[in-house]
Structure 1
Amino acid sequence: MSARRFDLRTLLALMAGVLMVTLMGMTVVDVIGRYVFNAPLRGAAELTELLLASVIFLGLPAVALADEHVTVDLVTDRLPDWIQPWRQGLIGIFSGAILAVVAWRIWIYAAQIGGYGGATTTLRLPLAPLGYFCAACTAFGAALSLGVPLWDLYRRRKG
């Protein structure tokens, strides 16, 4: 694994870790406030949803960078070794294309939400920035899903 890939993966993992620690801390404060002081954290459910969506979509590029997508190999493990890099390359093209379409549609949806000023119910936090963040993470994941297997195929072909 190259140093650049490791650094980017570390950065993505660190960002996701910060979001997870924030999510855990907020949940602890909410539970203690709810059951000990009878005063739950205002907007905790909304913040939980927003943070959880952020963690999930931030994880997409990290998974694509490591080429560790969930796979089911009922047939593929029986194929000859020489075909595996080509299969991975084709899967990368297909996955990248599907994720690019998903990113595009999320971007459009975020623009619609921003157009009518969509916000959370309690805290009135705008939802469009989260949509744009999710679209950007998905687009980055699409590029990595396409690029990583094709780069590996290129390296194997070169020697």
Structure 2
Amino acid sequence: MSEATPDAPPPRGAFGLRAALAVLGGILLMALMGMTVTDVIGRYLFNAPLRGATELTELLLAAVVFLGLPAVALADEHVTVDLVTDRLPRAAQPWRLAAAGLFSAVVLAVVAWRVWVYASQIGGYGGTTTTLAIPIAPLGYFCAVCTGVGALLTAAVPAIALARHLKGH
């Protein structure tokens, strides 16, 4: 999406949020990597795999993926395929990007809502992981919040770019 506004500066406050998302994502990835290395070394050298490594990998991977939603939306770096839309007049591109952002935000908002509902169901019956008995609902709520923030940013970033475009003309 960012091809229509490559020289536009990001919205105010974006740098702090972007830095926080990058640091948190880096911490989660380092934890995932360290745990995987520990598990592999323990399994093959000492015949003692890390207990619950599969569960922790699943939880950390879900956290990293859903944390990436707001990060991608904030950077306006969604994967796009422009088969027809790139042939539209240049003046229509900001409008197209804003409309696509709004549509995508609605889809993400529905996903966030359903993940929240599912997390509350899991929390209602006390769902936990099998080996380590880690509660699953907090991860579900985290995923729902990240998706909701991603939805807001997916709508806001192209809308801000459109407003800047209109202000410049």
Q: Same fold (TM over 0.5)?
A: yes
Q: C-alpha separation between the residues in 1 aligned to 2:106 and 2:86?
A: 24
Matched, 1:9 2:18: yes
Give the counterpart letter for 2:124 in structure 1: G
Q: C-alpha separation between the residues in 2 aligned to 1:67 and 1:97?
A: 16
Q: C-alpha separation between the residues in 2 aligned to 1:76 and 1:10?
A: 32
Deviation per residue, 1:96-144 (Å, 9 max, x gap): 1110010000000000000000000000000000000000000000000
SS in 2 for 1:25: helix
Task: State the partner residue of 1:144.
Answer: 153
Task: State the partner residue of 1:56.
Answer: 65
Q: C-alpha separation between the residues in 2 aligned to 1:10 and 1:68?
A: 16
Q: C-alpha separation between the residues in 1 aligned to 2:165 and 2:82?
A: 22
Can you give the 5+ residue segments of structure 2 that lack an aligned partner in the other structure? Answer: 1-8
Given the alignment, which residue of 28, 33, 48 partners 1:19?
28
Task: State the partner residue of 1:98.
Answer: 107
Q: C-alpha separation between the residues in 1 aligned to 2:88 and 2:80?
A: 15
Q: C-alpha separation between the residues in 2 aligned to 1:151 and 1:43?
A: 45
Q: C-alpha separation between the residues in 2 aligned to 1:91 and 1:98?
A: 11
Q: C-alpha separation between the residues in 2 aligned to 1:88 and 1:137?
A: 22
How far apart are residue 37 of structure 1 and its match? 0.5
Matched, 1:45 2:87: no
Task: State the partner residue of 2:77.
Answer: 68
| Alignment TM-score, normalising by the size of structure 1 | 0.98
Matched, 1:117 2:138: no
Q: C-alpha separation between the residues in 2 aligned to 1:124 and 1:15?
A: 24
Give the counterpart letter for 1:44 in structure 2: A
How far apart are residue 79 of structure 1 and its match? 1.1
| Alignment TM-score, normalising by the size of structure 2 | 0.92
Q: C-alpha separation between the residues in 1 aligned to 2:27 and 2:100?
A: 32
Instruction: Report how many aligned residue pairs link the two structures.
Output: 159
Runs of 4+ in 1 over 3 A off after TM superposition: none
Q: C-alpha separation between the residues in 1 aligned to 2:40 and 2:133?
A: 22
Give the counterpart letter for 1:76 in structure 2: T
Q: C-alpha separation between the residues in 1 aligned to 2:153 and 2:159?
A: 10
Can you give the 5+ residue segments of structure 1 that lack an aligned partner in the other structure? Answer: none
Matched, 1:157 2:157: no
